[in-house]
Amino acid sequence: MTKSVVLASASPRRTALLKQMNIAHTIQPADIDESPQENETPMELVARLATEKAQAVKAKLVAQQAMSEDKVILASDTLISFNGQSVGKPEDKADSTRILTMLSGKTHDVLTAICVLDEAQHKTQVITTSVTFAALTDEQIDAYWETGEPADKAGSYAIQGIGGEFVVSINGSASAVIGLPLYETRQLLNAFGVVS
């Protein structure tokens, strides 16, 4: 039986990465509350959000009587961990400036969780990638905000875009920083019977 993949995300970056892997899929965005819980570590938060996104889409498909044994749901979530604190998307320009100033000249971890589930089971995995930034000037940070790129990105930057210019080094999965770790996603989908 050929299994079909449902991507629980509206992210064009995740769609592009799945296409790069030659994995056909449909898109069903998940609408969940992404607020951190009290005392939740970045690792716990990113794993919970990916799992909840997958479960939300499964519940939607079940309600539509569209969930079947040949469907596999893939969800992902990405956030930055800096000094043990979770850093998500910026709320506005001031918040983006705060985040980029904080990351300037330092190393942070990008945590990307992937969750795959079907009718019977689910598995969630977190991939950690270390990213080191160059020292940024206030002018660079201002100019970067004006491009529009940082507004909806975890950590207020896109490594695959202009923000890649700030990255001195990366240790781990570059595709995980973009939003979907290619190797681990392939392994997990294969374990659920998805072959492309």
Catalytic residues: 77
Compute φ and ψ for 172, nearest 5 degrees. Answer: 135, -150
CA distance 147 to 134: 19
Query: 148-154: long-range contacts (C-beta < 8 A, 24 or more apart)?
Result: 150/90, 150/96, 150/100, 151/89, 151/90, 151/96, 152/89, 153/89, 154/78, 154/79, 154/80, 154/87, 154/88, 154/89, 154/110
- How many Cβ atoms are within 10 Å of 94's Cβ, its own excluded? 10
DSSP H/E element including 26: strand 25-27
CA distance 82 to 108: 5
